[in-house]
Amino acid sequence: MIKVNGKEIELEKATSVEVYLESAGYQMKRIAVELNGEILPKNEYADRMLEDGDCMEVVTFVGGG
């Protein structure tokens, strides 16, 4: 069980941050991820595995004016 933007999510198998984000429909170029209170660099998304108890905040950048 992990928490994403305040919602509890149950993962059925080991999942990387990148795989989770893509499966949830996030556009990788328009987001920033905080994992357990620390900003996660984009180059670590593929290698960082989500673990039980992780807390992730995903911020989506929106353009406009």
Q: Which domains does the chain have, with CATH numbers?
A: 2-60 (3.10.20.30)
**Residue 41's pLDDT is what?**
97
Query: What digits encode the pLDDT tens for the residues 44-59?
Result: 999 999 999 999 999 9
Closest CA to 58 of 15, 22, 5, 2: 5
**Residue 7's pLDDT is what?**
97
**Residue 65's pLDDT is what?**
62
Global pTM value: 0.89
Q: How many CA atoms lie within 13 A of 17 on its CB side?
A: 23
**Mean pLDDT of all residues in 12-23:** 94
Closest CA to 20 of 3, 38, 36: 3
Residue 64 has pLDDT above 90, yes or no: no
CA 56 to chain centre: 6
3-state helix, strand, coil in the chain (%, to 5): 20, 35, 45
